[in-house]
Every structure is written in C-alpha cells, then in structure tokens.
Amino acid sequence: MTLTTFPRKKPFKPRKMSKKGTFVGSIDQGTTSTRFIIYDQSFKAIGSHQTEFTQIFPQAGWIEHNAMEIMETVRVCMAKAIDKATADGHDVDNGLLAIGVTNQRETTVVWSKSTGRPLHNAIVWMDVRTSAICRRLEEQLPGGKQHFQDACGLPISTYFSAMKFLWLLENVDAVKKAVESGDALFGTIDSWLIWNLTGGCHSVDPTQNAVSGLHVTDVSNASRTMLMNIKTLEWDKPTLETLGIPIEILPKIVSNSEIIGTVAKGWPTANVPIAGCLGDQHAAMLGQACRKGEAKSTYGTGAFILLNTGDEVIISKHGLLGTIAYKLGPNAPTNYALEGSIAIAGAAVQWLRDSLGIIKTAPETEDLAKQVDNSGGVYFVPAFNGLFAPWWKDDARGAMVGITRFTNKSHIARAVLESICFQANDVLDSMHKEKGGATNEGFLLRVDGGASANNLLMQIQADLMGCPVVRPADIETTAIGAAYAAGLAVGVWTEDEIFSTEQRQAKETTFRPILKEEQRKKKLESWYKAVTRSFDLADLSL
C-alpha cells in the first residue's frame, strides 16, 4: 500500500514541538472501563488513568450503560492522567497538541439536544433485546437477513445500532416524542462524548441548559450502525426510508484523522483540538499498523479479527462483515476490512471470576489452566448472548460438553481459554474462504488487548490456527491507534513514522504452533460439534 498524505483546506499550524514537550492524548472508552492515556512524541505513554463503570442488566440478554456516568469517567481519567504526567515532570498543560477518541462500537445513545440529557440508558453492543425486531425485518424484507448487506456490508442483527434505535423508538415514549418534535440526537458513544466535549453545557454545569456541541461521528463508527453506505461513506437514504429513521437525528460523518473541534471550557483538556476518532477495533488496526493483507485480533470483552482489504469492498458470503479499516484524512484513500466479531472472549474469564468464583483475578486463569495439559475433552461454547461471526445465531446460549467425573476446575479454565481461540480460528477460516485460500500457511496474526498478555492463551491460539501469533510490546493498541490518528492530523507524526516496522518488530513476541496437525484437526472437529449443541437454546419466555 502506498502511504498517502492529504491536503487540508485550512492547514493546521501546530505549536512548536520538541521531543521533550509534545504530547497527544487518547480517550479509550471501552465496554467496562474508560482510560485516558497521554503519549509523548516517541509514542511512549507518560501518564494514564483507568476507571470502571456500572454494568446494568435489566433482564436476561439486556445490557445497558449510564451515558452520564461514562462521560464523568472521561473527565476523571483526563484529570488524573494529567496529574500523574505532571507529577513526573511533563508540561502537559502547554504540550498537549491533540486528543484522539476511540470507543466501544454499536452501543447506542439517544439524547435531547435541548436539555443534553440521555432519554434512556445506552443500549450496549452485545444486548439482544432487538431479536424480535430483527426477525420481523427478515420476514418482511426481500433477501431477509442480507437485505441491507450490499449497501452497508452488514447483515440484520441485534449487534448493530440501527436495531437498537428502532427498539428505543418503539418502546420509550421520551425517545418517540423527541424524534417527532425534532429534539432527538442519535449517536454511538463517540458522538455522545464529542458532543459533550465540544460544548454540551451540562457537561460543565448540571444546573444549566445544554448548548449544542458538535454532533459528529467518524466513518468507522458510522459503518457499524447499519445506516451508512459503505461505498459512498454517507448515510444511505434508501435504508433510512425503509427503517423510518429521520436523517436529521444522525451525526455528520468525518474521516478518522482530521480536526473535528476543540474541547470546551470546564474540561481538564480545554482548548485542545479533537483530531482523531475511530471505533475501538479500527483504532487497534491502526495501532498495529495493519496494511492491506494483514490481520489483527483484539482480545477484550469480546474478540475482533479484522483483515485489511485495501480499497476492495468485500460483501461476505461466509458470515463476515464488510467494514471500514480506516481513512486517515478527508481526502485520504479509504482502507476497507473484513471483520469477524466475537461477542464473548475476556468476558468468559470474568464469568469464571464473578459468577462461578473459580478464580479471584483474571490473570489466575493462566496458572490454573496450566495445571493440566489439555481440557480433558471439555469444550465450552460461550454463547451467553448468542453467537456472532461466522454463525450469527442469536438463539444460541452457552454450553459446556464433554464433562466427566474426571473434569476439574483446571479443565474448565483451559476450556474457557480454548473457546476464545476456537472462535478466532472460525473467523480466520472464513476469511481465507472469502479470499479463496484454504489454509493459514504463510499467514500470521497480530494480537493485542488485555487478554493477549496471557501467554498460554496466545500459544493455544497459535496451535489452533496453525500459524504464528505476534504480540507487540504495547498491547494497548486501541488507545495508541486513536493517538496516531490525532497526532497525524496536527503534524506530530507522519504516516511513515506510524507505519514504520523496524522499532515495532524489535519488541514483538512471536508464538509459533507446536500442536501436531492431526491433533489440531481432531480438536477443531470436536469444537464444531460443541458449537452446534448451543443452537436454539434461548428461552423465549425470559
């Protein structure tokens, strides 16, 4: 891929920079926590803070977040990260040149532009309350589940933001009234944060009426709503008409790397430009510097495998999603991607800890699983809220098969780790089928995210895929990807510096497969059998 610089109509003139006092901040707003990380010009993190927030479970399969609480975690993380960096002698107040935003995708918020208040809790990406709406549309529309796929690259699914908005419109009177009166604003978490950061007045003083901030999203987040035309990068009017969604409630779509607006007074980073915005998986792809033909897997609450397909838009026939990789400027070329989304990865480890009490901390899983050489024939399918790619079975539910009197908690812990890797392998197999290949020979997978620190997990992943797995020194590539985009827009870094491999490769760890091919195939066959056992288990009475 040829690296491209892009012209700007009004060139941004950054403050004088030096290695000692030039910084870029990154808001990394995830499913269970928020972080703010400050990077210096050599890509080193010099201050960071992370805060968890409340997970709300109104009923089985429903997951919500308090959007106001999320906004407050951003404020806290900004202030504390700046305090830490300042305490270490960094002049962040005068050296912070830009901020990038990255966020949990698909999670949907509708708020009042007159009061600035959310009209309902945010509906989280893995929430499945929209199953009935999805079934209804599949039955009514030509092509069923794939009706919108040619336009947006996505199947009809509970996963995507449009379905969540329709549920809010049909079930929440405040949302319906606000839409009818023209007072509603729709957005994913990036839009909600940017609106507040750029002037939503209640973000400064809860007693005041809100003043509208900038209602903006980026191409990567927009591509996850099911409402953006993946080729034109504009809201797709036929889709909006079919679903009855007014375009007036939608944010403006921008690229991933450009000056969007300036942080308003009252925030710890006031007067600093917001210059980058990407959905978390797209940010990780940029953070891993994935060019055309390269793939990465991020292991967080879920797991997400993206393959950069360059300028080629692929409408999948094997259960994958056509999506945006990144677009590094208004006039820059668009890189597309094939994606396999896995709903439950690290969340399965949290389940071991919080629900079963088998472990006290997530890192204990590795030591517990290492006490046995294999899972003892146990296979765990973590379909807590259905299965995403490549199965797309929202009626699936979790299953554990192969249990005997020999089974102990170490076997279960190992089966949980293996389940993450089996799911990733399913996605990679589909990617190869999509591209006309049959094996992983000559391929490597770049990995990142919190769970990638687990060495056993990464070795299992290499064994089950039959290809090398490469882990960077800094596994928090989501945050640094957003920083890359922001720094690029204001001239802190060039594309050549961001995509340079020399420094990165020197610090990478590579896990190579050691499992024999015959054993690998046998385990995969057993896994497929276990997956089918999880289908059609949803209790529709709940």
Q: 56 in helix, strand or coil?
A: strand
The C-alpha atoms of residue 346 and residue 339 are separated, in whole angstroms, by 18
The C-alpha atoms of residue 322 and residue 345 are separated, in whole angstroms, by 21
Residue 144: closest CA among 135, 152, 153? 135
Q: 239 in a domain, yes or no?
A: yes
What is the pLDDT, as a whole number, of residue 165? 97
Q: 103 in a domain, yes or no?
A: yes
pLDDT digits (tens, 9 = 90+) for 430-458: 888 887 665 566 678 999 888 888 999 99
Supply the mean pLDDT for the chain: 88
Work out the burial of residue 66: count CB atoms within 10 Å of its CB; fewer than 13 is exposed, 13-18 middle, 19 or more buried: middle
What is the pLDDT, as a whole number, of residue 443? 78
Q: 46 in a domain, yes or no?
A: yes
Which amino acid is it at 490?
Answer: V
**Spatial strand order in the sheet of 64-65:** 64-65, 122-123, 108-112, 184-188
Distance from CA of residue 286 to its chain's centroid?
13
Contacts of 491 (CB under 8 A, 6+ apart): 12, 14, 17
Q: 405 in a domain, yes or no?
A: no
DSSP secondary structure letters along 287-351? HTT--TT-EEEEESSSEEEEEEEET-----SSS-EEEEEEE-STTSPEEEEEEEEES-SHHHHHH
pLDDT digits (tens, 9 = 90+) for 307-359: 999 998 888 888 888 899 999 999 999 999 999 988 888 889 989 898 889 88
With cut-offs at 50, 70 and 90, classify the pLDDT of residue 476. Answer: confident
Q: 101 in a domain, yes or no?
A: yes
**Mean pLDDT to the nearest integer, 145-149:** 91
The C-alpha atoms of residue 35 and residue 56 are separated, in whole angstroms, by 20
Q: 134 in helix, strand or coil?
A: helix
Q: What is the CA radius of gyration of the chain?
A: 22
Look at residue 298 and tell me whether its pLDDT is greater than 60. yes
Q: 335 in a domain, yes or no?
A: no
Work out the burial of residue 135: count CB atoms within 10 Å of its CB; fewer than 13 is exposed, 13-18 middle, 19 or more buried: middle
Look at residue 263 and tell me whether its pLDDT is greater than 90. yes
What is the pLDDT, as a whole number, of residue 7? 33
**Mean pLDDT to the nearest integer, 19-24:** 75
Q: 94 in a domain, yes or no?
A: yes
Helices (H) and strands (E) in the chain, counts: 18, 23
With cut-offs at 50, 70 and 90, classify the pLDDT of residue 2. Answer: very low
Q: Note the pTM of the prediction, 2 decimals.
A: 0.85
Structural tokens at position 120: 């309902």
CATH of the domain at 212: 3.30.420.40
The C-alpha atoms of residue 179 and residue 173 are separated, in whole angstroms, by 10
Query: Could you tell me whether strands 234-235 and 228-229 are parallel, antiparallel, or unpaired per DSSP bridges?
Result: antiparallel
Q: 532 in helix, strand or coil?
A: helix
Q: 251 in a domain, yes or no?
A: yes
| Domain tally, the chain | 1
What is the pLDDT, as a whole number, of residue 541? 46
Domain of residue 283: give its range: 23-288
Contacts of 273 (CB under 8 A, 6+ apart): 12, 97, 98, 99, 259, 260, 261, 262, 263, 490
